[in-house]
Structure 1
Amino acid sequence: MGCLCGRQSVVIQGQKFHLIRQIGEGSFSYVFEARDTADNHLYAIKKMSCHTNEEEKRAQDEVENYQRFSHPSLVSLLYHEQMQYNPNSHVTSIIWLVFPYFKNGSLQDAFDKQTKFTTRVLLDLFLNVCEGVRQIHEKGMAHR
């Protein structure tokens, strides 16, 4: 992971973002730290490159699942946009997801750094995680 060569930008729902650096990677996606050119705020932007109809369906399902939830214990999807590509190319579409950016990283990042937490903070974190999982289960979904 690291910085991007050149200044890459993307427009999602009419908002222009400069992609600063890659901060994550999945099976068919990349996550970038990005800056909104209008308000200068930082966001996390996930780019899902879909090569098959199955991947496109999985990406669309992910968008729909994020849209089902609005809870402080769950990450909110702020914007999204699907861009169609030439069906003869290896990429059929790209789906962009915009999330809040957390400058301190994830809870997993804190554990990986062996951050010391007080018992009270650990209990609060545990309760928030449980509340998020409860919200997901109430919608008939499972979290992996």
Structure 2
Amino acid sequence: MNALGLTMIMKMGCICTRETININGIKYSVLERLGDGGFSTVDLVECKNNKKIYAMKRMTCHSIADQQKVQREIDYLKKIRHANIMELHDSYFKGSADIVVNTTSEAFLVLPYYPRGTLHDNLQSRAIEKHHMDVTEIFRIFSSVCDAVQYLHEMKPQPLAHRDLKTANICFTDNFTPVVIDLGSMVEARIQVCGSQDAQKLQDEAAENSSAPYRAPELFNVDSYCVIDERTDIWSLGCILYALCYFMSPFDLVYMRGDSVALAVLSGGVHFPEESKYPDHVHDLIIYMLNTNPAERPFIQSVIEKTQIVMNTVNNIA
């Protein structure tokens, strides 16, 4: 750079100044971009008041429906208090929070930052070296996630379903406590489907909000007259336990090949490696949750009880 260019930059000041966002009178300085999706971005920010680091989720709303969905996520986060579910520090709507007319609005959610990353990240690193997790650690993590799911499924006055439980939506705190994140897909768990229009709407929402390799079969092909309940999450828990053992969902390879995940899920075929370090009791627990018939799939309390039995059995074998 020549002397003239350097002089101009010195006169102008730094052109790389950090963005500052004001949330309800508190200023946050954006440090870096953590993630960028189709509907939202997540930035690493520093609170100028207490110098603490947070993750800030920024969502653009293009319609009243978008705003209602974001507001629902905020309301759930404000209501929920559980050690294994992400908490909300603050939130703010920029623009119209009631109606959108030829414009957009932005929602900002100030959330905890988890520097130890996600379970998905951890399992990907382990997969490279084929470093399988110890069965005790598997059940420590899985039991904590089950506790979070039980809390949601027993909410009053209506049980809630996360609807997008997966390894990428489980983070670790500094002491490796698992925390369920991203409640944007969460809904009241029990939905009465009355007719083909209701069925198609629910199926479309599931395709948009629920990741295919962890999505329950009844959400791929919604019956015209049925009740969908919280046991969609139980299917996802079965996929998560499989991933804890073998690094990915039993349907991830189908997804990566570009084959039909729906067909694979609806067929109900779950294959375990021939040479496995885990006892059949663990496989039985996975199959227990991956029942393609939602009416026969267990509720969370039964999963927790069976998990405890399997844990005790495995410990006695060891």
State the TM-score, normalized to the length of structure 2.
Answer: 0.41
Q: CA deviation at 1:6?
A: 4.2
- Indicate the percent of aligned positions where both proteins have the same amino acid: 28
Structure 2: stretches of 5+ with no match in the other structure: 1-15, 164-318
Aligned: 1:124 with 2:136: no
Q: CA deviation at 1:82?
A: 1.1
Pick 1 or 2: higher relative contact order, CA cutoff 8 A, min separation 6.
1
- 1:94 pairs with 97, 100, 106, which one? 106
Q: In structure 1, what is the equivalent of residue 176 of structure 2?
A: none
Q: For the pair shown, which has the larger CA radius of gyration, 1 or 2?
A: 2
Query: What is the alpha-carbon distance in structure 2 between the residues aligned to residue 112 and residue 74 of structure 1?
Result: 23
Instruction: Describe the superposition over 1:58-84 as per-residue Cα deviations: whole angstroms up to 9, x where unpaired.
Output: 110110111121000100011111111
Q: CA deviation at 1:118?
A: 2.9
Letter in 2 for 1:96: F
Helix, strand or coil at the partner of 1:81: strand
Pair 137,26 (structure 1): closer, same or farther in 2 beyond 3 Å:
farther
Alignment of 1:65-76 (within 5 A): 65-76=76-87
Residue correspondences, number: 138
Helix, strand or coil at the partner of 1:32: strand
Query: What is the alpha-carbon distance in structure 2 between the residues aligned to residue 87 and residue 8 of structure 1?
Result: 27
Helix, strand or coil at the partner of 1:114: helix
Query: What is the alpha-carbon distance in structure 1 between the residues aligned to residue 81 and residue 37 of structure 2?
Result: 24
Aligned: 1:59 with 2:75: no
Q: In structure 1, what is the equivalent of residue 162 of structure 2?
A: 143
In terms of fraction of residues, the more helix-rich structure is: 2
Q: In structure 2, what is the equivalent of residue 43 of structure 1?
A: 54
Letter in 2 for 1:141: L
